[in-house]
């Protein structure tokens, strides 16, 4: 990859004369004055097409006599700096697309170079494309904080009153990113904006924003709102996309489960078991393990035992690359923990963690750490809690996001065992993180306000 630079008309003429060893008189010939070329080279006069044609004609005449090939043409001479800048930005965009597959600093270094270039050349459409590519790159490496920043930059440049596929794409990506960051209210606001601003959007997008917002309402324990959204999606998607219809039903069952309306949840899970192909092991096992959790709550341990046996008989059929595998292992861990099989719960919790990391399902990692911390608290295993404490420091720094739930669980554990050193470590780290984040945010808002 190379860096690009813009040349003024003045510098182009100087470079041409240097390259071919010509004087101003040589380029001027008999049709224009040497003084005109001097003025153009000192940015005191503009280059017209007629003057450029005369200069090029004289250049070709001299070079033909010397049997030298001329690389320049009339378009090169007349191309202004703005046109050059647009071409360079197109090349930069192509570079970013090529570099996005690499996980080393090459992409980021090129992005910094482009951002420096954009300080001078402010082309909105090019900026939007570049910022969206940057958001995609950071999302791909699970740096959701920076992904959200670049998607937000792209969104800020778009006219929010005009529907475009590109704008909807960016809103969809922002929604996904906010969810992974646990910024549920921001996600809801993003989805609400899309749904209210563009009432005539395609059903596919309408379902995406309704479904994504339902997930967030569920996380915020606003279950009635979540179910209302899911019912709307179900009505649209039922006869269009069978697979997505099943996903909606699964989420409805989970929602009832969170509400402790266990029979309603089981009714949906049982309906799903009659609809899905049993060789769709992702959904089949996920439904079974969630059903088992309900039977644990209902103290129906015989049914739990039957379901667990079915799960263990089929678990090896799940692909190691399955997107639901870490979630399934995590739910198995939770069921085993509730049954008192704490050691077995740890085994499946660790399996879930390893696969989530390997499959880059980092949005699940914090949930897994919380589950493992509960298990290690039950096992009274401070050495293993120490590992989670270190991971808490690492992931907070990497994600630029403090998991307050995990932080309080760690504080509770160390408070109970009176480990003042660890308490102070967590307190100092969290305090420094919050203060630094607040300082950076304040500077960002002040900088933008002062523009």
Do the domain assignments include residue 235? Answer: no
Q: Give the C-alpha separation, 86 to 121, whole Å.
A: 8
Domain end, chosen from 79, 97, 131, is at: 79
450, 388: one domain: yes
- 102 or 382: which carries more pLDDT confidence? 382
90, 137: one domain: yes
Domain end, chosen from 17, 48, 79, is at: 79
Q: What is the pLDDT of residue 448?
A: 42
Do the domain assignments include residue 328? Answer: no
100, 187: one domain: yes
Q: Give the C-alpha separation, 129 to 349, whole Å.
A: 40
Do the domain assignments include residue 401? Answer: yes
75, 86: one domain: no
Cβ within 8 Å of residue 424, ≥6 positions away: none
Is the predicted pLDDT of residue 151 greater than 90, yes or no?
yes
For residue 443, name the pLDDT band (cuts at 50, 70, 90).
very low
Tokens of 142: 């699970």
For residue 351, name the pLDDT band (cuts at 50, 70, 90).
very high
Cβ within 8 Å of residue 249, ≥6 positions away: 234, 268, 271, 272, 275
Do the domain assignments include residue 208? Answer: no
45, 100: one domain: no
441, 386: one domain: yes
pLDDT (tens digit per residue) in 289-341:
999 999 999 999 999 999 999 999 999 898 888 888 899 999 999 999 999 99
Q: Give the C-alpha separation, 199 to 195, whole Å.
A: 6
Do the domain assignments include residue 369? Answer: no
Question: Which CATH number characterizes residue 75's domain?
Answer: 1.10.260
Is the predicted pLDDT of residue 446 greater than 80, yes or no?
no
Q: What is the pLDDT of residue 445?
A: 37
62, 137: one domain: no
Do the domain assignments include residue 147? Answer: yes
Q: Give the C-alpha separation, 308 to 304, whole Å.
A: 6
Q: How far is CA 225 from the centre of its chain?
A: 26
Domain end, chosen from 79, 110, 128, is at: 79
Where do the H-state alpha helices sit in 315-364? 325-338, 342-358
165, 97: one domain: yes
Torsion of CA 101, 104, 107, 111, to 10 degrees: 150
| Structural domain range at position 28 | 9-79
Instruction: Specify the number of domains making up the chain.
Output: 3
144, 121: one domain: yes
Q: Would you give the DSSP letter of residue 186?
A: H
Mean pLDDT, the chain, integer: 90
Phi, psi of 123 (to 5 degrees): -105, 110
Residue given tokens 């050059």 in the structure block: 84
pLDDT (tens digit per residue) in 205-225:
999 999 999 999 999 999 999
119, 17: one domain: no
Do the domain assignments include residue 359? Answer: no
73, 90: one domain: no
CB neighbour class for 148 (10 Å; exposed up to 12, middle 13-18, buried from 19)? buried
Question: Which CATH number characterizes residue 159's domain?
Answer: 1.25.40.10
69, 159: one domain: no
Do the domain assignments include residue 441? Answer: yes
For residue 438, name the pLDDT band (cuts at 50, 70, 90).
low
């Amino acid at each position: 990859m190379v860096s690009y630079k813009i040349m003024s008309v003045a510098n182009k003429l100087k470079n041409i004369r240097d390259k071919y060893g010509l004087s101003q008189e040589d380029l001027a010939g008999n049709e224009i004055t040497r003084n005109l070329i001097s003025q153009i080279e000192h940015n005191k006069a503009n280059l017209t097409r007629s003057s450029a044609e005369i200069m090029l004609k004289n250049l070709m005449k001299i070079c033909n006599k010397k049997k030298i090939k001329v690389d320049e043409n009339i378009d090169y001479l007349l191309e202004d700096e703005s046109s050059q800048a647009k071409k360079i930005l197109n090349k930069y965009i192509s570079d970013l697309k090529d570099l996005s597959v690499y996980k080393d600093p090459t992409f980021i270094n090129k992005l910094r170079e482009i951002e420096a270039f954009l300080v001078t050349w402010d082309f909105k459409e090019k900026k939007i494309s570049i910022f969206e590519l940057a958001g995609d790159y950071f999302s791909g490496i699970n740096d959701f904080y920076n992904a959200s920043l670049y998607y937000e930059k792209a969104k800020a440049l778009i006219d929010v009153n005009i529907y475009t596929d590109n704008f909807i794409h960016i809103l969809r990506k922002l929604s996904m990113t906010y969810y992974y960051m646990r910024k549920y209210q921001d996600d809801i606001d993003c989805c609400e904006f899309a749904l209210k601003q563009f009432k005539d959007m395609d059903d596919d997008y309408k379902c995406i924003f309704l479904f994504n917002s339902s997930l967030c309402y569920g996380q915020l324990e606003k279950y009635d709102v979540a179910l209302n959204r899911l019912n709307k999606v179900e009505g649209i998607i039922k006869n269009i996309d069978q697979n997505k219809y099943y996903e909606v039903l699964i989420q409805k069952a989970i929602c009832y489960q969170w509400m402790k309306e266990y029979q309603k949840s089981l009714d949906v899970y049982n309906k799903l078991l009659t609809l899905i192909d049993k060789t769709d092991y992702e959904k089949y096992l996920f439904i079974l393990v969630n059903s088992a959790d309900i039977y644990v709550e209902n103290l129906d341990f015989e049914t739990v035992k039957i379901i667990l046996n079915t799960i263990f008989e089929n678990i090896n059929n799940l692909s190691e690359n399955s997107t639901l595998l870490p979630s399934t292992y995590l739910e198995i861990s939770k069921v085993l923990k509730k049954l008192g099989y704490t050691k077995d719960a740890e085994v499946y919790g660790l399996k879930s963690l390893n696969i989530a990391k390997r499959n880059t399902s980092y949005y699940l990692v914090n949930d897994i750490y919380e589950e493992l911390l509960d298990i290690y608290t039950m096992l009274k295993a401070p050495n293993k809690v120490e590992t989670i404490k270190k991971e808490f420091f690492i992931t907070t720094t990497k994600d630029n996001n403090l998991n307050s739930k995990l932080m309080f669980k760690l504080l509770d554990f160390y408070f109970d065992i009176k480990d003042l050193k660890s308490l102070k470590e967590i307190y100092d780290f969290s305090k420094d993180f919050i203060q630094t984040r607040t300082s950076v945010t304040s500077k960002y808002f002040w900088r933008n306000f002062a523009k």
